[in-house]
Amino acid sequence: MTTMSLEKTMDTHATATGRQRVIICAGTGCVASGSLDVYHAFLREIRAAGIPVETVLRQENGNARNGALVTKSGCQGFCQMGPLVTVEPDNILYVHVKTADVAEIVKETLVRRNTVERLLYRSPATGAFCKGIDDIDFYRKQQRTVLKECGHIDPENIEEYRFQGGYEAARKAYTEMTPELVCQEMIASGLRGRGGGGFPTGKKWELTLRQPGQKKYVICNGDEGDPGAFMDRSLMEGNPHGLLEGIMIAARAVGADEAIIYVRAEYPLAVQRVRRAINDAREMGMLSHDMFGSGIPLNIEVMEGAGAFVCGEETALMASIEGRRGMPTPKPPFPAQSGLWGKPTVINNVETLVTIPMIIRDGATVYVRRGTEGSPGTKTFALTGHVANTGLIEVPFGSTLREIIFEIGGGVTREDGAIDPEAFKAVQIGGPSGGCLIDEHLDLPLDFDSLREVGAMIGSGGLVVMNQETCMVSVARFFMQFTQNESCGKCVPCREGTKQMLALLDDIIEGRATEKTLDLLEGLAHAVQRASLCGLGKTAPSPVLSTLRFFRAEYEAHVLQKKCPANACTALADYRIDAVECTGCGKCKDACAVEAITGAPREAHTIDIELCIKCGACVTACTWQAVKRG
């Protein structure tokens, strides 16, 4: 069964036996939308329909049994459409499923083999209903390899992972390969770390392997802290056994007998599923003091971090594990030389580790077929912002922003939700450590090196799309506020520099800036970038520098004209009341704290600009949208 995928197995047996499988997305997004209630509703309704139902996949003599199999999966990617329900082997995807819809799905789809059209995804471009993922551009334009299992297998069932060939790559690494061979295979694959830095994984392993001493560690960095990023969380929730197998191979490659998965405490579902996977792997003998009969021991534990963004940095992460305050230390020595407890340590992020089993299983020559020469393979992104289709995606390196935003993402939306081809303004890539890209970069092949050339970075994989109604100064301030709050305070350039940069940005959006402010902001940003101790401080100015580079005119409008071109900065806006639309209801007048609004009942009101403090309370209070800003 290890050579045939579970998906193909189920399709084959379903044809002969009538076996159907219902997969309910149980990633954090769908769970928050009520998918677990949907799961239990399916169990009730299927039983009520007299259909034999199981919740755990079992194979008996190679044949699937009659009835229906109802299971949960990890994140299926299309987060904004959750809760998501997939019905196999008919390849039907239902979106926004509620408990009230379950009885109809059971009756029409499981019993009568019909499709419930109203629950299908409807293309915003054509208006056509899409039966399954093969018909939806959001999925059809991706190449899901790392994410493949997240939406199909039950993350809490080790047997489903084994049916997919799970743990065979680890077995191969421990029983058929030497540590040197494992490192060479990884070097040949060209895999680069997916945590942001892009350092070659195989070379990091080889450096750790060469260090003297018997005690070495492997650390999985699951401290995903970028705003809007949820790639690692989804992988831990949806394919925890894939993560464990990657850790096993890493441990074999460097000679480690102990591994620690460091996960932020804000990821309770990920922590729960990873811990269950560890326990199940131990019970099945996959994780033991005698790995696959090789005589080599390995122990894996989970540690929950307190959620400090700086603990995503390697040395700060290790300090946290050791019980010290999470603060970075200068390098060298590098973790490979002197890491956790002073021992050689290899640190990889979740996505990197989940990628490793497929490289060992299929070989480096297969892996390098995707991506670019300098950045092989694929990359997961959290696609959010002003885009029609948001969610978790995976594309080969070398894909362009145009393909991601306008094909997978379905196009840029205006504030009213309508898709507008002219609405694109910018995309922030790489979170608070990344930079801003504009329309001239839409056809730039995305990889580690090309982005570095334009002042941006892949980062952990956040992609925030912004439309023309977005104020880029406010965007820069948002990320600066985040990094300033998350600064550990150890070094002066980051601690004080980010604070002063934030104050300068506040001056700009609140109308206090002068012509010297922009030069001071830019000079300070370069100083913080050069002098900070760790990656957080060195990259903190990136959003400011990239927006200054591409949107300087917008900054100058704030400073010189005291106007926000996007009309988004409250302090720079002028408020007025449209006399035609105003009904004289008095709601805006009641909401005004400084009595700047006057007018008789049922007559058009007016705003005294001299008295107005531009708080925006009148805009919120007006139910007729008669109060205008700008």
Per residue in 471-520, pLDDT (tens digit) is 999 999 999 999 999 889 899 999 999 999 999 999 999 999 998 999 99
Chain position carrying tokens 């002003």: 386
**CATH-assigned architecture of domain 6-136:** 3-Layer(aba) Sandwich (3.40)
Domain locations in the chain?
A: 6-136, 158-367, 378-470, 473-561, 573-629
**CATH-assigned architecture of domain 378-470:** Roll (3.10)
Per-residue pLDDT at 454: 86
Per-residue pLDDT at 341: 96
Q: Which residues of the chain have pLDDT under 50?
A: 1-17, 61-64
Phi, psi at 357, each rounded to 5°: -55, -40
Closest C-alpha among 163, 157, 151 to residue 277: 157
Phi, psi at 258, each rounded to 5°: -145, 140
Are residues 374 and 447 in contact, defined by beta-carbon separation less than 8 angstroms?
yes
Per-residue pLDDT at 403: 95
Per-residue pLDDT at 65: 58
> Can you name the CATH fold of 573-629?
Alpha-Beta Plaits (3.30.70)
Which DSSP letter does residue 362 get?
H
Per-residue pLDDT at 596: 94
Task: Supply the CATH classification number for the domain 473-561.
Answer: 1.20.1440.230
**CATH-assigned architecture of domain 158-367:** 3-Layer(aba) Sandwich (3.40)
Q: How far is CA 540 from CA 23, 304, 537, 619, in A?
A: 41, 25, 5, 34
Q: How far is CA 137 from CA 121, 146, 521, in A?
A: 11, 19, 42
Per-residue pLDDT at 195: 83
Per-residue pLDDT at 308: 86
Record the tokens describing residue 592, joined without a space. 């005004």
Per-residue pLDDT at 86: 96
Per-residue pLDDT at 13: 35
Per-residue pLDDT at 507: 96
DSSP string, 307-319: --GGGGSHHHHHH
CA gap 92, 75 in Å, rounded:
17
Per-residue pLDDT at 462: 86
